[in-house]
Amino acid sequence: MSVTHDVLEADADVLSRQDPELAEILFAERRRQSTTLQLIAAENFTSPAVLAALGSPLANKYAEGYPGARHHGGCEIVDVAERLAVERAQDLFGAEHANVQPHSGSAAVLAAYAALLRPGDTVLALGLPHGGHLTHGSPANFSGRWFDFVGYGVDAETGLVDHDQVRTLARARRPKAIVCGSIAYPRHLDHAFFREVADEVGAYLVADAAHPIGLVAGGAAPSPVPYADIVCATTHKVLRGPRGGMVLCGSELAERVDRAVFPFTQGGAQMHTVAAKAVAFGEASAPSFAAYARQVVANARTLAARLADAGLVVTTGGTDTHLITADPAPLGVDGRTARGRLAAAGIVLDCCALPHAHARGLRLGTAAVTTQGMGQREMEAVAALLTGVLRGTTEPASARDDVRSLVAEFPPYPD
């Protein structure tokens, strides 16, 4: 910890001397992250070791191709880093094959489609208004332009995935692939169910586990790996690694997946990021990460319960994961207004589409605050601050002071 911390400080000194203008921006962002409350469900705080790998000279290396088969010379050392990242990912998730090169979660999904589909193929995925990602058929994304997406939804009463609808649509539309995964679904998905439907209609099953993959690593969520033909994921959400993506699959699809990542959709791998992914996989295989994953869920459950007590409508009535979506309408405020008011109080979260609703709701998560060391006691305090601001019983400026003192007790990085 102290070695990597010194590395960070030395880098910061160099930057301040050479480019004070940019250095000030970095310091300001670091201040923002450590003086406000980070409740964005997709964010986390990487370790100083992950940051050290990201800021290393591996960033200089061009490495098109795969270990042992590169288009560039001088790759013998970065090859070791990539092999290590791949082995650690395979061990961590019990996967026969891992590709750690996708630059992002979206790039991982693109690679999965490229490995399995042809333009025009039909794909069944959670509709965007119900929590699907842009890569699940948005007309503004390559997915919606190049494939024929059919959307299933969640039940209006329970908020749970409508299994009957999935089965009916699969039978009627005969998709080439079924996608399970969401940006906003707070419950565990039933991977066995999706596998059964995919088998019945002869479709591939793609699990987009960008959000829960970190909980899977820590044993706090069921793994899609035994069920899906391809699992796509990010490495920067609950998993707490560098910004990037990853694809897991069985050995029979390994070659197709690798060719779909490079050369089909990407050029050279970012070796500093690949090395940082190896560091994160190492961290996630430690027993302390399992404790972290359990605490993330316990914190989210407490927060969800207190928000419901205060009158917000929590989708599905709670959560199994790090993620909560809720409608603040009963407090007389819509999601967009709520996000603005909370930002003024230093509480940073997203608004999101709510299934079967017209106004937007709130989406929040506990991955970052749990990394900081906050527990259920702090979640009670966070819920009280948040609902006080939304109700108008706490002035944003006074909540801002309380937020500042709360987060000061849990610095994300040593000062």
Ligand X SMILES: *Cc1c(COP(=O)(O)O)cnc(C)c1O
Q: Which is nearer to ligand X, 43 or 82 (CB)?
A: 43
Using the rule CB under 6 A, give the single segment among 28-36, 180-188, 279-287, 339-347 that binds ligand X: 180-188
In the set 46, 234, 319, 394, the catalytic residue is 234
| Interface with ligand X (CB under 6 A), residue from 38, 106, 319, 370 | 106
Is 399 one of the binding residues for ligand X (CB under 6 A)?
no
Which span (110-118, 205-213, 251-259, 375-383) binds ligand X, by CB under 6 A?
A: 205-213
Q: Is 62 a catalytic residue?
A: yes
Which one of 42, 92, 117, 352 is in contact with ligand X (CB under 6 A)?
Answer: 42
Which run of H or of E encompasses 348? strand 347-348
Tokens of 294: 């359990």
Q: What is the DSSP string of 21-55?
A: HHHHHHHHHHHHHHHSEE--TT-----HHHHHHHT
- Spatial CA neighbour of 39 closest among 399, 392, 383, 393: 383
Residues forming beta bridges with residue 282, ordered by sequence position = none
Report the distance separating Cα 228 and Cα 177, nearest Å: 11
At 262, is the secondary structure helix, strand, or coil?
Answer: helix
**Segment interacting with ligand X, rule: CB under 6 A, options 111-119, 137-145, 176-184, 348-356:** 176-184
- Kindly state the smallest distance separating residue 232's Cβ from ligand X, in Å: 7
Per the CB < 8 A criterion, the answer to whether 315 and 355 are in contact is yes
Judged by CB under 6 A, does residue 141 bind ligand X? no
By CB under 6 A, the residues from 111 to 140 that bind ligand X are 133, 135
* Interacting residue with ligand X among 50, 52, 109, 225 (CB under 6 A): 109
Name which of 170 and 210 has its Cβ closer to ligand X.
Answer: 210
Q: Per the structure block, which two tokens stand in for 220?
A: 């706090």
> CA-CA-CA-CA torsion for 241, 18, 62, 251, nearest 10 degrees?
0
Q: Which two tokens stand for residue 337?
A: 């207004």
Q: Residue 243 catalytic?
A: yes
The residue nearest ligand X at its CB is 105
Among positions 75-104, residues that touch ligand X (CB under 6 A) are: 104
User: Of 105, 137, 346, 396, which one interacts with ligand X (CB under 6 A)?
Assistant: 105
Stretch that binds ligand X, among 19-27, 175-183, 258-266, 348-356 (CB under 6 A): 175-183
Is 234 annotated in the active site? yes
Annotated active-site residue 64? The verdict is: yes
DSSP string, 267-296: -S--HHHHHHHHHHHHHHTSHHHHHHHHHH
Question: 219 CB contacts (<8 Å, ≥6 apart)?
Answer: 290, 293
The strand ranges marked E within 59-161 are 65-66, 69-70, 97-99, 122-126, 148-152
Nearer to ligand X among residue 231 and residue 407 (C-beta)? 231
Q: Which is nearer to ligand X, 234 or 316 (CB)?
A: 234
Residues in the site for ligand X, rule: CB under 6 A? 42, 104-106, 109, 133, 135, 181-183, 208, 210-211, 234, 245
Active-site annotation, residues: 62, 64, 208, 234, 237, 243
